Structure 1
Amino acid sequence: MRRAAIALLLALGAVVLTAPVASAHSELLSTSPARDGVLAAAPTEVVLTFSTAVQKTGAAIVVTTADGTRLDDGPVTRDGARMIQRVKAGSGSVNVRWRAVSDDGHPLTGTFGYQVGAPSGDAGAATTPAPVSAARAPAERPPTTESSPLYRRLLGPVALVIAGLALGIAAWRSGKHSKTNELVSKEHQS
């Protein structure tokens, strides 16, 4: 019975240690308008596209001009992996602060800016660039005090292995003592 329990524990430990770990944290893939883009005309919406779907709860996009005037107009809408915020017309430097929650509950935040109209001293440079990819502009993430993902993924399996070893040693020792007790009682009977 003890051997079967130990074998079961070892098999369970092997399954847990070799099972693939799901990592569903979403990342910002692109923004429209593009990060640091220069636009000839004000956009009607700001669109953030993520690598996976994001939750509706906790979603926010705040769009402001350099003087603090809010341009976001109405609630954020969500379409799977996209968050969309309607915006009022504005000009000059525009700042976008956003917050999202990935489907696994991981919070994401970031900021980016764009320019409406040519920057001062460069009247001919206003163009509408395509959305920027994550390779060129990774999502900004605030500093976090979370443990590293590797540490969190290994903590459970390591604890399971240690518990299995402790149980195995306890079972082995109790079996060893019972055999010793049998030998001692046989010697006393003879």
Structure 2
Amino acid sequence: MHKNVGTTDAIIRITGGLVGLAYGIGKMSRRPYNAPWLLMALSAMKVAEGVTRHCPMYRAMGINTRSEKGMQNIWDQAKGKGVQMVMKQVTNKMNSRKNEETQTNSSTQQMQQSTPSVKQEGSYRSKSHRLSAEDELLEKAARDFVTLRSEDNELQSREMESAASREKSQSEQYSSDEHRYPTYS
């Protein structure tokens, strides 16, 4: 077995494992039917890794924390991989935006041919300032959302008014029952 866990790493593993085992044994002594078996198994595994100074997960990833630069190498690898992941995400987003722009341009051309009313709504803008096709679509979607939202608010207020009138009639019924059947306290 090749040792790939450094001293600091081993101490952290042993301490964490013993804390987990102590917690699990304490829980098990109070309620043996509800013991945290998984926690205890993982804690025992961490203690064993710390004592033997061998971690199978480190071996699979090619990490070695025994040397002085071991932890520094781990941080450098993580930073490098993090930067690479961020760059991949950025390039993927840029490529997807280009694809969306081409799709948006074709769809806006179709919309402009079918609906000339979008230009009429934007007539309040000056002639020199014109929105891009994507911005026009966003504006139209926002206008639709606002109108739907206001219609929903109107329906909700009507429902609240009808509920209030129903509650009023129930309270009136209660007061008439109270006078019909008096209580003597």
TM-score by length of 2: 0.27
Structure whose alpha-carbon radius of gyration is higher: 2
Higher RCO, 1 vs 2 (CA within 8 Å, ≥6 residues apart): 1
* Structure with greater strand percent: 1
